Structure 1
Amino acid sequence: MSQLTKRVITIPSTVEISLTAQKILAQGPAGKNELLLNPEIEVIREAEKIWIKSNNLALTGTFNSLIYNLILGVEKGYQAILDVKGVGYKVNLRDRMLELTVGNSHLDYIPIPPELKIEIKGNRITIIGSEKQKVFAFAKHIRTLRPPSIYKENKGIYLLGEDNNIKLRPGKTLRK
């Protein structure tokens, strides 16, 4: 049996949890979120601890992770950091729009979801929010505009620390 299904989640003192049969509502310093529950699982709360019971082990592990991420998100929040690297590549913030110049003949405008906060410092974009899925989905959406180049070093939109993991391929003339 997976250790994740046996995990007991402790609720920090800064987070308030309200539990009903259909959903969990969490509120903390970084925001508030809710999670809809599957009818096959039973969420048990005792004082400052939560655990999950179910006959379906896959659902138990999944909802254990979802509840843990929910609590962590409202307590500390999540952030994704993107580096925009390339000659002439620029990032600006206009109202609730992200304006990117990434080597196209036109500017790319991306509307920012209301639940996310964006900070820009130079060519580094920091996406902050309380929902893990929304933060990293928005980071992935931005990254699709100009993914890291596999032929040239330091060109494209990178997740922080990702530039060390990308293997460069030789060009046509060097493949021989």
Structure 2
Amino acid sequence: MSRIGKKPISVPAGVEVKCEENLVTVKGPKGTLSRQFSKELGIEVADGVVTVTRPTDDKEHRSLHGLTRTLIENMVEGVTNGYSKTLIIEGVGYRAAKKGKEVVMNLGYSHQVIVAETDSIKLDVPQPNTIVVSGIDKQEVGQFAAEIREKRPPEPYKGKGIRYVDEHIIRKEGKAGKGKK
């Protein structure tokens, strides 16, 4: 039995979970999320607890069991607290500024890089070298943050570029670091 899949999901106060033919809809203070899950799995909502069951111990059912439970838990967490990713911009002259619903970044290119907010993703620039991506869908927040990081990934020699706040860049030695033969 999946250790993750068999754990029940407790639904906090103010959050409403509905399941009709494995279409799970979670409504909370931050918004509403819905997702269709496999028809083979059983999803039950009762007394503020969501449980996921699987019909057999087939490999496919076992893999879907833990995944489905985790996705539902992420939906509940998203509508209550939301998710956010923080990006750090490092480099001389590299910076970001928020103008309306857009973030304008100077990343060492001959042009400015502009990224716009969407309906579900909010961008914030508390400092010129920090961007905070936030929203209620964990997958969407992570994807949007990855797309911003892709504009100028960190390079290994000086560490210049856009990186996650908890990301460690492994540095390389330059030419001067090599020994003579």
For the superposition of Structure 1 and Structure 2, which TM-score range results when normalised by the shorter chain? over 0.9
Match in the other structure for 2:163: 158
Which of 148, 157, 165 is the aligned partner of 1:142?
148
Matched length:
173
Q: Does 1:102 align with 2:115?
A: no
Which residues of structure 1 form unaligned runs of 5+? none
Q: Secondary structure at the match of 1:3?
A: coil
**Are the counterparts in 1 of residues 93 and 106 from structure 2 also a CA contact under 8 Å?**
yes
TM-score w.r.t. the length of structure 2 is 0.90
Q: RMSD value over aligned CA atoms?
A: 1.3
Q: Is 1:131 aligned to 2:137, yes or no?
A: yes
Q: Which residue identity lines up with residue 131 of structure 1 in the other structure?
A: D
Cα distance between partner residues in 2 of 1:49 and 1:93: 41
Task: Give, as a single letter, the amino acid of the residue that structure 1 aligns with 2:133.
Answer: I
In structure 2, stretches of 5+ residues that fail to align are none
2:77 partner SS = helix
Which residue pairs with 1:45 in the alignment? 45
- TM-score of the superposed pair, with normalisation by structure 1: 0.93
SS at 2:50 equivalent? strand
- Structure 1 range deviating more: 105-114 or 64-73: 105-114
What's the CA shift for 1:17? 1.1
1-side partners of 2:108 and 2:151: how far apart? Answer: 10
1:66 aligns with 2:86: no
Q: Which amino acid is 1:127 matched to?
A: V
Paired AA for residue 101 in structure 2? R
Q: Secondary structure at the match of 1:4?
A: coil
Residue of structure 2 equivalent to 1:23: 23
Deviation, 1:61, is: 0.7
Residue identity opposite 1:6 in structure 2 = K
Shift, 1:111, TM fit: 2.5
Question: What letter matches 2:173 in structure 1?
Answer: P
**Aligned with residue 85 of structure 2, among 80, 85, 89:** 80
